[in-house]
Structure 1
């Protein structure tokens, strides 16, 4: 039978679709590790902040309640002892200062007394003759205290975020003004020195007349804040530890395997290995396993292509060497020809073998360009029925001269016989099959074409009435450069021997495989002849 096989090894099994079987058994993979690792530290910090913000709020409220109770007590004492029993209640400032000097107060609490016209009357720092002593920083450059610097930075941020840029004196006056209206004011603010304080301002009133306001401030809130920070340290350290562990885990699970894959790929590039040595990584049930699978499949495919090219080059050399040897022998015998008949015969041999070499070179060039052409060509949806109708019309005149009739029938509606692919390439398959059938058909004979839809596939058959194919050659005809012309193939079949390169069926199978289809041959059971079946995915 004339024509042959794809330039690839037909026994090579197609690589399974990567990821489809692997990803079904995956639950997260590296994406889940990255997500959990990056959010674990944040979750710890958020939980710690929420917990200890609530703790700080509770401590601050408790401090405010204590100051309010003390302030209410002092205000009651001043209302009884520092307001004369006059018709118009007025605060006796001297007596009020004396009373405040004798009263005991919580350590660290600052007490200030204001008149009704917002004038300061007394301040505990003056009444107690308190002298503020601060330690000066050492002379010369000193190593910065990281804890102090961090604390100062956090405090500055808090001041900015809570609007402490407002004048502390104005904030105090607003509190006193509100208290002079008979209301108790509680607040958390910053004093003139930028320290965080808890402040409670209570009105001093006799019956319903407000004669002044008493403000108590506690500056030990900074200690509460510092205690809060110390309580947050375990959470911060835990977050850092989790982040470090996650970074190590990511490096171990991603960076190290990628370096191993890179080293294995480099070994293939340098020729130290023919295939990717990544069997351990391919067993991983994650994206690294997918990548290792893809790289291994790619290198195996490249190696198969290299082997196929080597075999193809050897076959090409062999196929071209045979006609060249015949030409050489005929050329050497031509000068010694004794008759015109033998001379003409030798010249015919030279001419036929030269044409065969030309045909071989042309078909080999076409086969070598096939992969690139298939990669560049765009896929389109087209009708197989329309293509078969065009081929029947084209081969009708050719078959008429040899009394070979070309018929086509459809097992489904023609609008259901559509495929998506490269129309010119599919037409090339059918043209090769028709050329093959035409060369083997006796006179008269019929070549039958049929097309039908079989589930998700379009099935096209080309049947002839030739001598058929030997059972042992049903697969061999798809070997490159394979030609089989039996002696009973008829005059046309014998005349065609030597005119075929043996690449027609090879190219047909290669095109079918590139479209996700298949092609095979079988003998007809109802009569003599062969049948070629082409299956392509339906569009």
Structure 2
């Protein structure tokens, strides 16, 4: 027995089809992108069909054709009626006054007057003719006399043995089929609103029909009306004439709904085509959605997993085989994710290196501070004090370099690049390095610029002059620390290719150990020359220099300089390669 409050609400019957669709198509049918694709594709088809229904001239053409047909039919029937259906009195009218005025031997010729030419229509003679001409059609025919009074109505003409039948009025609450309801809706939307409403003539009075009154003047006419149910009735009135005298009027009318049934059939054919087109649109939209929404959903799910910070690397789905925007998005997300993971690894490694490098001077500083109170001689105290000052300076240098390295990427990303003339930059830095000599080795620094073409803009690069200058300064100071005390020489060369600017810093020091050529760019790696005191360098200079070069789209490499004859190492060479500026 179920507990109170745990009973599930009954599912509504209309939710079952949607559940089935979800099982067949998955979540693609109900995604926002899928709904938009379906909406816009179906909306375009709906607008097209609505335009066809609205601008379709089939209905107007059908009405015009029916009017012409009824007029032709009316002319034929009216001619037959006027020829065979008038009353013949077989009498001659003589004026008595003229008879008294006759003299002896004179005679009078009876001359018909206007009244003699006004032959009334005999319903008994007209009825058989009208029945034979109207029976094959569904047209309703009515004949009015010269006073617009109804003489005959084809609805009430029956031959011998025919069953008399009257049409009952429609039931007011009769249920409409969906096609009838749709046809009525389309008629209300597209049918002109200025059509007069059709009404039966009370007491057979034809004067309520304007076309009948016009026909009594000898002019045929036509008029389109609409019933209370919105069905069209086309009426034409043709005068019945004999010797140009109007004897009456023949009024022909279509059955209510005849034209509407033809138009309705035409519109149903259009709607069938619309249904097929809509079904094809839905299928194509779902197919299009599966090729767009599903890959995007997989990419979004992978991005969410990356954001949640799983312990292992999340693999972004690879759609690089697609030659479209989704393929480009997949490539960009994969590269971004790999760069993010690499940055995370670099941060973790950097944090570990910083912790290690800070721990060494802190350990030394702690030992010196703890030992200082125990020192008995002034010499021991002085030595411990020097160690403390040395470790403090080392910590200060480490913290400054670490801070510089940590904010380097953000600084380069925030500031805009500007054209930098490397020739002027290197010239200024060389002059400054030559002037600074206090506490440093006397070194000969030379600058050689290779500009055979004489193009002043050949050495322009896009970047940040302070950071590019920091690279050259670090390389000069690194070379200065390795050159010999006497005869030290640093040579800086500047050249360019078609799209690169190349600067080299070469010294005549002992060179680099072959196994350390790649390691010298690692953070906190130091390989100082003999005689230099420990802790004078943080080991971040070359690492920061390469980081700056790569941020500018360039590279920084190291190699040894060999003697051409003996192949002995005669120094080290650092090569900075940067992409040329836009003006190059």
Give your verdict on TM over 0.5: yes
- For residues 166 and 315 of structure 1, the distance between their equivalents in structure 2, rounded to whole angstroms, comes to 92
Q: Which moved more, 1:257-266 or 1:188-197?
A: 188-197
Per the alignment, residue 307 of structure 1 pairs with 345
Question: Tell me, what secondary structure is at the counterpart of 2:494?
Answer: strand
For each residue in 1:18-49, what CA deviation from the matched residue of structure 2 results, as whole angstroms up to 9, or x when unmatched? xxxxxxxxxxxx99x96999279839965995
Per the alignment, residue 244 of structure 1 pairs with 282
| Aligned partners of 2:554 and 2:576 also within 8 Å | no
Per the alignment, residue 228 of structure 1 pairs with 266
Question: Tell me, what secondary structure is at the counterpart of 1:462?
Answer: strand
Alignment of 1:329-344 (within 5 A): 329-331=367-369, 334=372, 343-344=381-382
| Aligned partners of 2:445 and 2:492 also within 8 Å | no
| Aligned partners of 2:195 and 2:226 also within 8 Å | no
- For residues 92 and 273 of structure 1, the distance between their equivalents in structure 2, rounded to whole angstroms, comes to 112
Alignment of 1:46-65 (within 5 A): 63=66
Per the alignment, residue 156 of structure 1 pairs with 188
Displacement of 1:313 in angstroms is 1.2
Per the alignment, residue 426 of structure 2 pairs with 388
The equivalent position to 2:170 in structure 1, one of 128, 132, 135, is: 135
Displacement of 1:507 in angstroms is 1.8
Per the alignment, residue 511 of structure 2 pairs with 468
Per the alignment, residue 15 of structure 2 pairs with none
**How many residues align structurally?**
494
Question: Tell me, what secondary structure is at the counterpart of 1:519?
Answer: strand
Question: Tell me, what secondary structure is at the counterpart of 1:404?
Answer: strand
- For residues 373 and 89 of structure 1, the distance between their equivalents in structure 2, rounded to whole angstroms, comes to 118
Question: Tell me, what secondary structure is at the counterpart of 2:457?
Answer: helix
Q: 1:377 to 1:404 in 2, by over 3 A?
A: same
Alignment of 1:82-231 (within 5 A): 94-95=121-122, 99=126, 102-103=129-130, 104-105=133-134, 107-111=137-141, 124=153, 133-138=168-173, 145-159=177-191, 163-167=192-196, 173=210, 190=226, 194-198=230-234, 216-218=252-254, 219=256, 220-231=258-269
Displacement of 1:505 in angstroms is 2.0
Question: Tell me, what secondary structure is at the counterpart of 2:502?
Answer: strand
Displacement of 1:276 in angstroms is 2.8
Flag the structure with higher helix content.
1
Q: Which runs of 5+ in 1 are unaligned?
A: 1-29
Alignment of 1:234-383 (within 5 A): 234-272=272-310, 274-279=312-317, 286-331=324-369, 334=372, 343-383=381-421
Displacement of 1:183 in angstroms is 8.1
Per the alignment, residue 72 of structure 1 pairs with 75
Displacement of 1:466 in angstroms is 3.0
**Which of structures 1 and 2 has the bigger CA Rg?**
2
| Aligned partners of 1:41 and 1:238 also within 8 Å | no
- For residues 295 and 179 of structure 1, the distance between their equivalents in structure 2, rounded to whole angstroms, comes to 87
- For residues 297 and 364 of structure 1, the distance between their equivalents in structure 2, rounded to whole angstroms, comes to 27
Displacement of 1:181 in angstroms is 8.8
Per the alignment, residue 420 of structure 1 pairs with 462
Question: Tell me, what secondary structure is at the counterpart of 1:530?
Answer: strand
Displacement of 1:77 in angstroms is 2.6
Question: Tell me, what secondary structure is at the counterpart of 2:512?
Answer: coil
Q: 1:509 to 1:210 in 2, by over 3 A?
A: farther
Per the alignment, residue 26 of structure 1 pairs with none
Displacement of 1:355 in angstroms is 0.8
- For residues 178 and 512 of structure 1, the distance between their equivalents in structure 2, rounded to whole angstroms, comes to 101
Per the alignment, residue 538 of structure 1 pairs with 581
Displacement of 1:263 in angstroms is 3.2
Per the alignment, residue 104 of structure 2 pairs with none
- For residues 356 and 89 of structure 1, the distance between their equivalents in structure 2, rounded to whole angstroms, comes to 142
| Aligned partners of 1:464 and 1:531 also within 8 Å | no
- For residues 259 and 335 of structure 1, the distance between their equivalents in structure 2, rounded to whole angstroms, comes to 68
| Aligned partners of 2:38 and 2:282 also within 8 Å | no
| Aligned partners of 1:110 and 1:123 also within 8 Å | no
Question: Tell me, what secondary structure is at the counterpart of 1:415?
Answer: coil
- Scaled by the length of structure 1, the TM-score of the pair is 0.73
| Aligned partners of 1:445 and 1:465 also within 8 Å | yes
Question: Tell me, what secondary structure is at the counterpart of 1:532?
Answer: strand
Question: Tell me, what secondary structure is at the counterpart of 2:571?
Answer: coil
Q: Which runs of 5+ in 2 are unaligned?
A: 1-32, 88-111, 158-163, 199-208, 564-569
The equivalent position to 2:535 in structure 1, one of 483, 498, 501, is: 498
Larger relative contact order (CA 8 Å, sep ≥ 6) = 1
Q: 1:86 to 1:439 in 2, by over 3 A?
A: farther
- For residues 168 and 89 of structure 1, the distance between their equivalents in structure 2, rounded to whole angstroms, comes to 40
Per the alignment, residue 160 of structure 2 pairs with none
Displacement of 1:234 in angstroms is 2.8
- For residues 429 and 116 of structure 1, the distance between their equivalents in structure 2, rounded to whole angstroms, comes to 116
| Aligned partners of 2:423 and 2:449 also within 8 Å | no
Per the alignment, residue 432 of structure 1 pairs with 474
- For residues 116 and 379 of structure 2, the distance between their equivalents in structure 1, rounded to whole angstroms, comes to 154
Per the alignment, residue 10 of structure 2 pairs with none
- For residues 269 and 499 of structure 2, the distance between their equivalents in structure 1, rounded to whole angstroms, comes to 67
In the alignment, structure 1 residue 523 sits paired with structure 2 residue 560: yes
| Aligned partners of 1:356 and 1:498 also within 8 Å | yes
Displacement of 1:478 in angstroms is 1.0
Displacement of 1:480 in angstroms is 0.8
Per the alignment, residue 14 of structure 2 pairs with none
Q: Which moved more, 1:332-341 or 1:363-372?
A: 332-341
Displacement of 1:359 in angstroms is 0.7
Question: Tell me, what secondary structure is at the counterpart of 1:420?
Answer: strand
Q: Which moved more, 1:279-288 or 1:513-522?
A: 279-288
